[in-house]
Amino acid sequence: MAKLPIYTYPEPVLAQIAQPVAEITPEIAKLIEDMVETMYESDGVGLAAPQVGKSIRLITLDETGPKERAKPMVLLNPEFVEQTGVKESEESCLSLPTFSCKVKRFDTVTVRGLNEKGEAVELKAEGLLAVILQHEIDHLDGKTLVDHASRLKRTLYDSKVKKWRKD
């Protein structure tokens, strides 16, 4: 396993709509292992393939976090089947250093997809897990937290990022 570099905003791959995964090739299997490792080593609870520069519909997550590592999950081609309720969550993202914002999310979601063995799975989630799923699936649709933020907040972050890139 290897820790992969994380692509940060405004890398174009983060704004692309990712492609479905047709089959689990040895390359995809390796990418899955590396993404789980990268997620934990970066202190994250979720990671989407575009964040490591791959524009494919693949996410990894573990709501228990990098210390416990008790519930690692992999989803390929995830799709929402049902979304109910509303909640507000305060989120940050490995691809947006120092940024955080409040996001309106569904409270409960049901997601369908494939696991790392290519088997069909359906998952009903609420609370933190539901938030992680919505955040990561946003990445597959080329959306990051800045797309949920106010125009002012986004502009401020844009100028911060520009300054970092110059330094």
Does residue 149 interact with Zn ion by CB under 5 A? Answer: no
Q: Find the part of the chain contacting Zn ion (CB under 5 A) among 58-66, 88-96, 109-117, 118-126.
A: 88-96
CA distance 83 to 11: 30
Answer yes or no: 136 catalytic.
yes
State the sign of the Cα–Cα–Cα–Cα dihedral 44, 45, 50, 52.
positive
At position 131, the amino acid (one-letter code) is: V
Question: Which residues, other chains included, contact 151 with Cβ-Cβ below 8 Å and sequence gap of 6+?
Answer: none
Of 101, 97, 106, 94, the C-alpha closest to 149 is: 101
Q: Is 130 in the site for Zn ion (CB under 5 A)?
A: no
Nearer to Zn ion, 75 or 93 (CB): 93
CB of 117 to Zn ion, least distance (A): 25
Closer Cβ to Zn ion, 7 or 33, answer by number: 7
Nearer to Zn ion, 93 or 146 (CB): 93
How many residues sit close enough to Zn ion to count as binding (CB under 5 A)? 1
**93 forms part of the interface with Zn ion (CB under 5 A):** yes
Kindly state whether residue 140 participates in binding Zn ion, applying the rule CB under 5 A.
Answer: no
Q: Which residues bind Zn ion (CB under 5 A)?
A: 93
User: Which residues are the active-site residues?
Assistant: 136
